Amino acid sequence: MDYEVIIVGAGSMGMSAGYYLAKQGKRVLLIDSHNPPHAEGSHHGETRIIRHAYGEGANYTEMALRAQKLWGQLQDTSDEAIFVNTGVVNIAQPNSNFIQNVKKSAKDYSLNVEQLTAEDINNRWEGFNVPEGYIGCYELDSGVLMSENCIRAFREGALKHGAEFKPNSPVTSISIFDNYVQVETQQESFTAESLVVTPGAGTRKLLPLIGLDLPLQELRNTFSWFETDESIYDSTAFPAFSFELPTETYYGFPSMKEAGVKIGRHDGGRPRDMRKPLETFGTYEQDKQDVTRFTERCIPEVGQHKLGKACTYTNTPDADFIIDKHPDHDHVAVACGFSGHGFKFSSVVGEILSQLVTEDHKSQLDISPFSMQRLNVVGNVFKNE
């Protein structure tokens, strides 16, 4: 057997899994069709928010807290910034399901969260213009992950602990047998005892190679940077944020190292044809128009639009993740469908995947909400309907 574990897809989740497996002394091979970190998936753009009081549901808070601990451990091994404690303020109307979930998880887990009125927010941070009647939940211990630094640190750590990496190597075939797997690229063939599949934006292309067809949709989304008054929006003075309006949801970052305020629209997006290159920012008028309109209304002290980029969301029907073992093969684990809010969890997802393909094949955290079984099952094949 060439390896103990092969990981197909070495982006956010896969590189993390490779790191934790290699740290255990496992013989690991990472394969990716690109050379992470790169701009073809969902991890580029320098920064990602990490929140603990999680508006998307109680299933995530325990994972977020474990992820934060693991990010701290990774920071201890890296000379590059991994996490910046800017705080995160979640803003919405009081009856919002999102803000109610934030409040509930803050209470249930005794998190360091302050509840603020619109007036409180506007008085504390000059850069906001929150409409009257909105409220905010300010998480003091949350902040910003430097996403590309995170992947570099996982990559360097995995290689340091003996993992092997094959970048720019698209997988053409996967064969799963009772006690091993065989993975082929255009140039080479490899065998291993176990397989981890974390294909990111390539999910719907690769899952049929292991007999799965999940109801996923790829969306093109965009984010932008704006010229900034550093005295107002610098990361030492302004928090990261999520902002839910009645029909739109945005997220944003303070200016990191004078890069400018970064803002993106989380909902919406355009269906992406994965057979074609990712359309660049500015292809559609809406790319710039939406975020500019939002800043004029709610973040009025920022300056002109500076730069924009596009990325890919791979969404499940319920926007919850898929983290599970293959329904027919206990030695194959799958993680995908992170629906535009997965990066913050990549440290803990990598740890979970390392547990699913070693020892007793069980995660130490409850991942039952992320099972494939919640999706439509027909004869052990998940249909895209």
Q: Does 86 have pLDDT greater than 80?
A: yes
Q: Is residue 51 domain-resident?
A: no
Q: Does 385 have pLDDT greater than 70?
A: no
- How far is 82 from 271, CA to CA, in rounded Å? 31
pLDDT tens readout for residues 164-174: 999 999 999 99
- Domain of 253? 88-140+217-315
**229 lies in the same domain as 311:** yes
Catalytic residue list contains 47: yes
CA atoms 71, 197, 337, 35: torsion sign: positive
Sorting pLDDT into bands at 50, 70 and 90, what band is 1? confident
Assigned token pair, 63: 């994972």
Catalytic residue list contains 166: no
303 and 227 in contact (C-beta within 8 Å)? yes
Catalytic residue list contains 44: yes
Active-site position among 26, 34, 44, 51: 44
199 and 216 in contact (C-beta within 8 Å)? no
Q: Is residue 61 domain-resident?
A: no
Question: For position 40, what pLDDT does the model report?
Answer: 60
Q: Is residue 353 domain-resident?
A: yes
Q: Which has the closest alpha carbon to 191: 178, 179, 180, 199?
A: 180
Sorting pLDDT into bands at 50, 70 and 90, what band is 380? very low
Residues 6+ apart with CB under 8 A from 283: 310
CATH of the domain at 363: 3.50.50.60
Catalytic residue list contains 48: yes
Q: Considering 289, 315, 341, which residue would you say is the last residue of a domain?
A: 315
Active-site position among 262, 265, 272, 341: 262
**94 lies in the same domain as 176:** no
Catalytic residue list contains 362: no
Q: Tell me how far the alpha carbon of residue 214 is from its chain's centroid.
A: 19
Q: How many of the other CB atoms lie within 10 Å of CB of 107?
A: 11
249 and 185 in contact (C-beta within 8 Å)? no
| 95: exposed, middle or buried (Cβ count in 10 Å: 0-12, 13-18, 19+) | exposed
Q: Does 377 have pLDDT greater than 50?
A: no
Q: What domain count does the chain have?
A: 2
**309 lies in the same domain as 224:** yes
Q: Does 148 have pLDDT greater than 90?
A: yes
**334 lies in the same domain as 304:** no
**243 lies in the same domain as 375:** no
Q: Is residue 252 domain-resident?
A: yes
Catalytic residue list contains 52: no
* Residues written for the chain: 385
Active-site position among 23, 266, 309, 325: 266
Q: Is residue 29 domain-resident?
A: yes
Q: At residue 348, what is the residue type? A: V
Q: Is residue 76 domain-resident?
A: no
**173 lies in the same domain as 306:** no
Sorting pLDDT into bands at 50, 70 and 90, what band is 268? confident
Q: Give one word for 279, left, alpha or beta, with left for phi > 0 and alpha for psi -120 to 50.
A: beta
**171 lies in the same domain as 311:** no
Q: Is residue 66 domain-resident?
A: no
Active-site position among 34, 47, 61, 336: 47
Helix (H, G, I), strand (E, B) or coil at 374: helix
**153 lies in the same domain as 24:** yes
Q: Does 264 have pLDDT greater than 60?
A: yes
**371 lies in the same domain as 262:** no
Q: Considering 290, 315, 340, which residue would you say is the last residue of a domain?
A: 315
Active-site position among 155, 311, 312, 331: 311
Sorting pLDDT into bands at 50, 70 and 90, what band is 126? very high
CATH of the domain at 102: 3.30.9.10
Helix (H, G, I), strand (E, B) or coil at 86: coil
Question: For position 44, what pLDDT does the model report?
Answer: 53
**121 lies in the same domain as 261:** yes
pTM: 0.95
- How far is 75 from 336, CA to CA, in rounded Å? 25
pLDDT tens readout for residues 17-68: 999 999 999 999 999 998 986 556 554 568 999 999 999 988 999 999 999 9
Question: For position 378, what pLDDT does the model report?
Answer: 35
Q: Which has the closest alpha carbon to 174: 202, 210, 224?
A: 210
Question: For position 41, what pLDDT does the model report?
Answer: 55
- How far is 328 from 310, CA to CA, in rounded Å? 36
Q: Considering 257, 280, 315, which residue would you say is the last residue of a domain?
A: 315
Q: Which has the closest alpha carbon to 261: 300, 204, 220, 212?
A: 300
Q: Is residue 294 domain-resident?
A: yes
Question: For position 42, what pLDDT does the model report?
Answer: 57
Active-site position among 48, 51, 326, 341: 48
Catalytic residue list contains 262: yes
- How far is 37 from 344, CA to CA, in rounded Å? 15
**260 lies in the same domain as 158:** no
**116 lies in the same domain as 185:** no
pLDDT above 70: percentage of residues in the chain: 95
pLDDT tens readout for residues 175-196: 999 999 999 999 999 999 999 9
